[in-house]
Amino acid sequence: MASVKATPGHRAAGWRPTPLLATSLALGLLAALAVGPAWASAALPEATPVAGVTDPATEPEPDPETTPAEEPTPTDDPGGDPEPTDPAPETTAPPPETTPPAPVTTTPDVPPAPTTTAPGPGATSRPPTPRPPVPPVRPPAPGPEAPPPNPLGVQVTTEDVTVTGAYWNAASTITTLRVTVTNTGIAAQRIRLSYRLPEGLTDAGTKGCATTGLRAYRCGAWTTAPGARFSSLLRLRVAGNAWRQMPLSGSVQVAAEAPGVAGEATDDQGFAVLFPPGPPVSGISLDADEVAFDISGAPSTLTVRLGNTGEADAAGQVEVVLPAGVSVPTPPAGCVAVDTTRTRCDAGSVAAGRTVELRLPVEATPQAQREAPLSGAVIGQLDPRRGPTRQVQMSFRITAAAALATPVVSPPAPTGSQGVLSGGGASHDGPMTSVERTAAILIGVSALLVVLALVLATTSLRRRLSDRVAGPTAAPTD
């Protein structure tokens, strides 16, 4: 059979696309390699985040309170000197709390540069390993400077005025109110103390304190060191008929100032006057739990228990009296709101020797929670079928976590970028930078080269397929 010869044109057509395809692929690969670093750098901000790690400072344990022999002496006259009936109020002044020293920052050890020696005869010299480049540290963008910390600071806490059962057999009762003051600033301060008493309570001759009218009293000033704390006992007299005015609450205020520092720091704290159930009456018992509001300020619950300790069944009734700002938002079944601070509940028939329990929802305004602790009152009554009506009343305590919360002062957050990329990525709505424009151009050129290479490869493949379909042409026989 005669051999088939391909024409020179077909051979040229079969070899022509191969160099062109290889050239296009090489150009596309080079463009991709050139674009890769620029593309990666364009996706990240120019600055490299630098994370600093510091060891947390260890806070010292608070010093235990010690009781000195004498109280802090006021440095000025409060304006009066009432005759004291007892020795000076007890005070407590522990040594000032010391601030832990700042942690010592040490420079990290830098490994020494490798020393190079001339290679001996026959040895192969190895080039030194280049050190990785250190990323540049970019200073934070300028922004508003944080205000300097206030060197003044003061805090006051109080305990309750608790009246014992002996109150019901006395014309009046003398009790005490413990007040604790702490210098929370960073400078020596002069702290002034004042307090306001509710109706039915008067000062019983606290040394260094004098009345300013309207049941308000002002004491002298104490000079305290930073971190110093002292306690003082205020002597108070509770009138024999003060229980008729319950609930009763008062407040204590402190103000601190320092030489050369403008303004003053203030704080205030309320206190509750708590009476036991009474006046004592046989055949009835009354008890109420404390009401506590958590830091969220959500409504709480008041639980009241009314007991019949007599020998006959009786109709029970409970009346709850709350201070201003505290109320029962939705009275439960059997209860009705008499006014904004008074709610009356029908306890039904209470059998002899039995106790009924009532639960009422209670809410307080933010201002009332800041003034806590406060006190409320409960009045219990039993009306038997035969015999006189029996009635007693008592106080209960109202506390709130918001009264002890201290606002946290923090520097304002930066409004501009600080060179740190957030976990969710960065958004960019402004005009493109020069790096981003260059990256976009290179990406476009690379895409065009890849498309061109694909077109050339497809064209070459189609030509080869068409040549195979046409088949070889046979040469004429002799």
Q: Are residues 397 and 295 in the same domain?
A: yes
The verdict on 299 and 266 lying in the same domain is: no
Residue 140's pLDDT is 60
Amino acid, res. 106: T
Give domain status of residue 362, yes or no: yes
Domain end point (choices 214, 247, 274) = 274
CA nearest neighbour of 293 among 375, 372, 357: 372
Q: In Å, how far are 32, 209, 363, 397 from 296, measured between CA atoms? A: 57, 37, 12, 19
Residues 292, 370, single domain; the answer is: yes
The closest alpha carbon to 199, from 182, 216, 183, 184, belongs to: 216
Supply 3's token pair: 């051999």
pLDDT at 64: 42
Within 10 angstroms of residue 207's Cβ, the number of other Cβ atoms is 19
The dihedral of CA 460, 465, 468, 473: what is its sign? negative
| Residues pairing with 273 in the sheet | 161, 248
Q: Has residue 249 been placed in a domain?
A: yes
Indicate if 328 and 264 belong to the same structural domain: no
Cβ-Cβ contacts under 8 Å for 463 (sequence gap 6 or more): 13, 17
Q: Read off the amino acid at residue 339.
A: D
Which pLDDT score is estimated for 144?
A: 63
Give residue 387's pLDDT.
85
Give the CA-trace dihedral at 160, 164, 167, 172, to 10 degrees.
-40
Helix axes 434-470, 17-43, angle to 10 degrees: 160
Count of CB atoms situated within 10 Å of the CB of 304: 23
Pairing outcome for strands 265-274 and 161-162: parallel
**pTM for this predicted structure:** 0.55
Residue 25 belongs to some domain of the structure: yes
In a domain? residue 243: yes
Instruction: For residues 323 and 372, state if they share a domain.
Output: yes
List average pLDDT for each run of 10 residues in the chain, which is 478 residues long: 47 48 60 51 42 41 41 46 39 45 46 47 54 62 64 91 93 94 92 94 92 91 91 94 93 92 90 93 93 90 94 94 93 91 93 94 92 92 90 94 56 35 40 70 81 83 73 50
The reply to whether 423 falls in a domain is no
Q: Assess whether 348 and 447 both reside in one domain.
A: no
Domain coverage including residue 343? 284-403
On whether residue 87 sits in a domain, the answer given is no
Query: Which phi and psi angles does 307 have, rounded to 5°?
Result: -115, 145
Q: How many distinct structural domains can be found in the chain? A: 3
Any domain includes 98: no
Q: Which domain-ending residue is among 274, 295, 325?
A: 274
Which residue among 353, 386, 403 closes a domain? 403
Instruction: Give the ranges where 356-476 is alpha helix by DSSP (H).
Output: 366-371, 434-470
| 430-438 contact pairs (CB < 8 A, 24+) | 435/38, 435/41, 435/42, 435/46, 436/42, 438/38, 438/42
Check: CB of residue 243 under 8 Å from CB of residue 201: no
172: CATH: 2.60.40.10
Would you tell me how many other CB atoms lie within 10 Å of the CB of residue 43? 12
pLDDT for res 91: 45
pLDDT at res. 130 = 61
Residue 72 in domain: no
CA separation for the pair 78, 128 (Å, rounded): 81
Q: Do residues 376 and 370 lie in contact, with contact meaning Cβ atoms separated by under 8 Å?
A: no
Residues 226 and 308 both lie in one domain: no
Do 256 and 341 belong together in one domain? Answer: no
pLDDT of residue 9: 46
**Residue 353 DSSP code:** T
Tell me, yes or no, whether 288 and 270 share the same domain. Answer: no
Residues 391, 378: Cα–Cα separation, whole Å: 11
- In this structure, are residues 306 and 392 in contact, taking their beta carbons and an 8 Å threshold? no
Q: Where are the beta strands (DSSP E) in 353-452?
A: 355-364, 374-384, 390-400
> Which amino acid is residue 184, in one-letter code?
T
Quick one: 259 and 301 in the same domain?
A: no
Q: State whether 299 and 360 are in the same domain.
A: yes
- Considering the domain architecture, whether residues 396 and 288 belong to the same structural domain is answered as yes
